[in-house]
Amino acid sequence: MLQQVSIPIRTECPPGACVCEREILLADPEADLRPLRLTRTEEQKLLDRIDAVSSYEELKRLQDRIRANLGVELRIAPGPNEVRTLRGILIVLQDRPGLCKKVRQSVPAAVRRVLERHPEITYAILDAHDLFGAP
């Protein structure tokens, strides 16, 4: 029997298109349903908000809001190898039950577009990980 949910939740993906484990999450009365609150409308608002980011501080605040509202970590860090281009920056939205595969792809893509438009944010990320730090 499925749990009654009074908040709007994301509609079900077509069979075989996603591995979000939505049904399993809804069947568990103790489950954290925050990832399911990201409806398609809310996803578009999130992508628009990411697109509006213009500083490293805004990006950090956005990461905090994603963590608080969805219970999901958005990690942005230099890759394990030398960072020569923007492609060397790892942008990963944590995989979590209830979080659609499309969202796990669209959010990092939106962040990458912001970093391409604002290279100063990329430099701040590198500096925050001591890549430009003093010896």
Q: How many helices (H) and strands (E) does the chain have?
A: 5, 2
Question: Cα–Cα distance between 83 and 80 in angstroms, integer?
Answer: 8
What lies within 8 Å, CB to CB, of 108 at 6+ separation is 74, 91, 92, 93
pLDDT in tens, 65-91: 999 999 999 999 887 776 666 677 889
What pTM was computed for the model?
0.83
- Nearest CA to 107 out of 61, 56, 38, 9 is that of 38
pLDDT band, residue 5 (cuts 50/70/90): very low
Q: Let me know: does 74 contact 66? Beta carbons within 8 Å.
A: yes
Q: Give me the pLDDT at residue 111, please.
A: 95
Main-chain phi, psi angles of 8, to 5 degrees: -65, 135
In this predicted model, which residue has the larger pLDDT, 31 or 57?
57
pLDDT in tens, 84-109: 666 778 899 998 888 888 899 999 99
Domain ranges of the chain: 22-128
